[in-house]
Amino acid sequence: MKRVFSGVQPTGNIHLGNYLGALRQFVELQEEYQCLYCIVDLHAITVPQDPKELRKHILDVAALYLAVGVDPKKSIVFVQSDVPGHSELGWILTCSSYTGELSRMTQFKAKSHNKASAPAGLFTYPVLMAADILLYDTDVVPVGTDQKQHIELCRDLAIRVNNTRKKTFVVPEGRYLKAGARIMSLDDPSKKMSKSAENIHSRISLLDEPSKIKKSIMKATTDSEGIIRFDKEEKPGLSNLINIYSALSDKTVDDIVAMYEGKGYGDFKKDLVEITVDALAPIKERFDEIRSSQELIDILEDGAEKANAIAEKTMARVKDNFGLGLK
Ligand code: TYM
């Protein structure tokens, strides 16, 4: 069975972009692949974190995985720092990475603001991500398109190691869904929807109350033309909302444009509020049931054990091919 790996950072505010770009794919893939879904807490500490909040967010993301439909009987759900192979392989791959290629990563440039005091972990972040993926001989990585550059780096590193040593790694493929691959911010559609943006109305978090969802959508930036049509260049705000509508309703963009011919943005937004509230209500309900249960901890412990068993085999092969250790 081919293998899938993906991860989400436990930084709170998991939003519609995370859901439509990544989480929703996780559920579909469980039927065809052996899936590993990770809560990447080591990535989260590339920026300062409050320890209590971090623990809370780890469990929040784990509960959200299950709430959206990840089934622990089919998939391995675990916390990254519970499997030491991630850090170990991260270091080994750091030694095969070039400072030039890492300094070209757009997320590093965006987050470090060219500051000399930017944490070195932000710089090597994509290498740890490559380690996550390569540790499990992953074939397919479902992510949003914002992660494309990181996936390409992962492939480059795998190919580089395979070409300079014995074949060590499986070279993975990214899997990007068209609808939802990049959900933009509601207040500024030139930016991607993000967990860390200051304006809470720039995103819809999966656990938002209906009143908050309504407010965020009704306030979302559009344009003054007043005609509902899809045009990313001229009408990026409205086009983003049409994309969200389409992804949540299984109607095509053309269907939606036809449905709203002659209608105004108010009607469209009101319907989008209803569709979004209906789509997120069952997720929130399941989240509330799972979040405080002992079952969640048991699932994560069991997941870490299973992930470790796979990771240890890969690490033995990697160490052997690099000549590390005694055997
Ligand atoms: P993170 O936690 O930022 O995001 C989790 C997933 O959500 C997707 N995503 C989006 N998709 C569409 N529109 C958006 N606005 C949007 N924002 C986020 C991301 O593409 C991602 O799939 N580096 C990763 C975490 C990671 C990882 C991995 C992923 C660490 N190791 C190994 C895959 C494989 C990240 O920061 O995701």
Q: Please compute Rg for the chain using Cα positions.
A: 21
Residue with tokens 């992660």: 147
> Do 120 and 75 contact (CB within 8 A), yes or no?
no
Q: Ligand 1 mean position to 315 CA, how many Å?
A: 25
The proportion of the chain whose per-residue pLDDT surpasses 70, expressed as a percent, equals 99
pLDDT at 203: 98
Write the DSSP string, 244-303.
Answer: HHHHHH---HHHHHHHTTT--HHHHHHHHHHHHHHHHHHHHHHHHHHHT-HHHHHHHHHH
User: pLDDT band at 80, cuts 50/70/90?
Assistant: very high
Residue of the CA atom closest to atom 20 of ligand 1: 144
Query: Sign of dihedral through CA atoms 198, 146, 128, 295?
Result: positive
Catalytic residue, chosen from 56, 73, 74, 111, is 111
Q: Which of 98, 166, 106, 107 is nearest to 318 (CA)?
A: 166
* Mutation to probe ligand 1, out of 18, 124, 241 (largest number of atoms < 8 A from CB): 18
pLDDT at 311: 98
Please write the tens of the pLDDT for every residue from 261-305. 999 999 999 999 999 999 999 999 999 999 999 999 999 999 999
Catalytic residue, chosen from 52, 56, 178, 195, is 195
* Mutation to probe ligand 1, out of 29, 40, 128 (largest number of atoms < 8 A from CB): 40
Please write the tens of the pLDDT for every residue from 200-253. 999 999 999 999 999 999 999 999 999 999 999 999 999 999 999 999 998 999
Extents of the domains making up the chain: 3-182+294-322, 200-287
CA atoms within 13 A on the CB side of 173: 7
Fold of the domain spanning 3-182+294-322:
Rossmann fold (3.40.50)
DSSP 179: T
Q: Say if residue 182's pLDDT is above 90.
A: no
Q: Ligand 1 mean position to 265 CA, how many Å?
A: 30
Same fold, 3-182+294-322 and 200-287: no
Side chain identity, residue 316: A
The reply to whether 111 belongs to the active site is yes
Q: Ligand 1 mean position to 156 CA, how many Å?
A: 19
Query: In sequence order, what are the beta bridge partners of 79?
Result: 39
Highest average pLDDT, of 173-177, 198-202, 323-327, comes from 198-202
Which CATH superfamily does the domain covering 200-287 fall into?
Tyrosyl-Transfer RNA Synthetase (1.10.240.10)
The reply to whether 192 belongs to the active site is yes
Tell me the CA distances in angstroms from 197 to 11, 40, 48, 64, 302, one per residue in order.
12, 20, 16, 20, 34
- Dihedral angle, C-alpha 297, 147, 250, 5, nearest 10 °: -40
Ligand 1 surroundings by CB, under 6 angstroms: 5-9, 17-18, 21-22, 40, 43, 129, 132-133, 141, 143-144, 146-147, 150, 180-183, 192-193
Beta strand pairing status for 173-175 and 76-79?
unpaired
